[in-house]
Amino acid sequence: MKKILVTGGLGYIGSHTVVELQAEGYDVLVVDNLSNSKEEVKARIEDISGQSLELQIADINDTNALESLFSKHQFDGVIHFAAHKAVGESVEHPVMYYQNNVSGLISLLGTMEKYGVSNLIFSSSCTVYGAATDLPVTESTQIQKAESPYGTTKILGEEIINDFAKHKGFKSILLRYFNPVGAHPSAKIGELPLGVPNNLIPYITQTAAGIREKLTVFGDDYNTEDGTCVRDYIHVVDLAKAHVKALSYCDKMSQNVDVFNVGTGKGNTVLEVINTFEKVNGVKLNYTIGSRRGGDIEQIYADTTKVNNLLGWSAKYGIADMMKHAWAWQQGLSD
């Protein structure tokens, strides 16, 4: 049985990935510092998978804690989710973002090198493409200077891994996620946004639940079908499954690093998302059209040919499932 270390495995995407790894017969150990998750997620994962999960509560910047884990366990691969992810917060606290996202990665890579562990799956983001003009974006679309320190940490992370893998004969896959949304169909795990959400789907579900008074659509004067921005929303369970595929591909790939877009390949406008949410859940949303949000790009969606062909992965869930599962999860939270 292969043993995988999952950093940030109690978080939103990590918890769903742990469920899929356990379902595919991997032995999983999670390291998480609970900075954006709760310890009870471990029991929820175990409830879904019917298997016990090893958890070490520690910070990946703590190299002594990491070394203690690597000395006790022989890992066959690492999936690295642990990072801060709020774009606005990164503008206010850039050093905190470089410390956690970049230094944390360096601490992890140094420990992997010391213990001879290869095979790293890294959580990158479509944010590296910035406001790409040619759509859909492929993996060879030009990377652009990031709009925020958060985005820079993803570009730097990719660069550091490229250098490290090339010179150390180490294998890594960079997954560029588009917009992960939804929750596990069991409604036992999902996203736990702290405070007022910045992202569209938690804002929608909290508005529907009466936690927020109304949703503001950020601009309807873009050059798109209905004037609102277009994104490639990807169900978190589909995204989780892509990590399992990436792990087995890592073993057999000839080059040191490869990169994949992970999206559905289809763009949806903000109004399409709202209308779908209302329709599939039979809930009326209180929303108004407001002005544009600074830094938003007009539209982006993925070319998924590479991930479809090489990883043998494609998204199974559509936007209706994403909205249904996001609402079921929110309702569980409001109980």
> Is 98 one of the catalytic residues?
no
Q: Judged by CB under 6 A, does residue 200 bind ligand WQD?
A: yes
Binding residue for ligand WQD, selected from 26, 129, 164, 203, defined by CB under 6 A: 203
Neighbours of 335 (CB within 10 A): 4
Number of residues engaging ligand WQD in binding (CB under 6 A): 18
Closest separation between CB of residue 324 and ligand WQD, Å? 18
Q: What is the phi/psi pair of residue 330, to 5°? A: -60, -40
Q: Judged by CB under 6 A, does residue 243 bind ligand WQD?
A: no
Q: Which does 296 bind (CB under 5 to 8 A by kind): ligand WQD, ligand NAD, none?
A: ligand WQD
Closest separation between CB of residue 272 and ligand WQD, Å? 11
231 or 324: whose CB is closer to ligand WQD? 231
Q: Active-site residue among 26, 97, 150, 317?
A: 150
Binding residue for ligand WQD, selected from 198, 275, 308, 314, defined by CB under 6 A: 198
Q: Are 33 and 100 in contact (CB under 8 A)?
A: no
Binding residue for ligand WQD, selected from 46, 62, 278, 296, defined by CB under 6 A: 296
Structure tokens at 96: 């905190």
Taking Cα atoms as reference points, which of 185, 174, 236, 193 lies closest to residue 14?
236
Binding mask 255-294 toward ligand WQD (x if CB under 6 A, else -) reads: ---------------x----------------------x-
Closest separation between CB of residue 208 and ligand NAD, Å? 20
Binding residue for ligand WQD, selected from 4, 6, 66, 87, defined by CB under 6 A: 87
Stretch that binds ligand WQD, among 134-142, 213-221, 252-260, 316-324 (CB under 6 A): 213-221
As a whole number of Å, the end-to-end CA separation of the chain is 39
Q: Judged by CB under 6 A, does residue 215 bind ligand WQD?
A: yes
Q: Judged by CB under 6 A, does residue 125 bind ligand WQD?
A: yes
Q: Which does 14 bind (CB under 5 to 8 A by kind): ligand NAD, ligand WQD, none?
A: ligand NAD
Residue 97 CA to residue 87 CA, distance in Å, equals: 10
Q: Judged by CB under 6 A, does residue 245 bind ligand WQD?
A: no
The three-state DSSP-derived secondary structure of the chain is CCEEEEECCCCHHHHHHHHHHHHCCCEEEEEECCCCCCCCHHHHHHHHHCCCCEEEECCCCCHHHHHHHHHHCCCCEEEECCCCCCHHHHHHCHHHHHHHHHHHHHHHHHHHHHCCCCCEEEEEEHHHHCCCCCCCECCCCCCCCCCCHHHHHHHHHHHHHHHHHHHHCCCEEEEEECEEECCCCCCCCCCCCCCCCCCHHHHHHHHHCCCCCCEEEECCCCCCCCCCCEECEEEHHHHHHHHHHHHHHHHHCCCCEEEEEECCCCCEEHHHHHHHHHHHHCCCCCEEEECCCCCCCCECCECCHHHHHHCCCCCCCCHHHHHHHHHHHHHHHHC
Residue 120 CA to residue 231 CA, distance in Å, equals: 27
Closest separation between CB of residue 183 and ligand NAD, Å? 12
C-beta nearest to ligand NAD: residue: 11
Binding residue for ligand WQD, selected from 49, 99, 144, 216, defined by CB under 6 A: 216
Binding residue for ligand WQD, selected from 217, 247, 311, 319, defined by CB under 6 A: 217
Q: Judged by CB under 6 A, does residue 69 bind ligand WQD?
A: no
88 or 279: whose CB is closer to ligand NAD? 88
In the block, tokens 């209706």 appear at: 320
Q: Which does 293 bind (CB under 5 to 8 A by kind): ligand WQD, ligand NAD, none?
A: ligand WQD
Q: Which residues are catalytic?
A: 150
Q: Which residues bind ligand WQD (CB under 6 A)?
A: 85, 87, 125, 127, 179, 198-200, 203, 215-218, 229, 231, 270, 293, 296
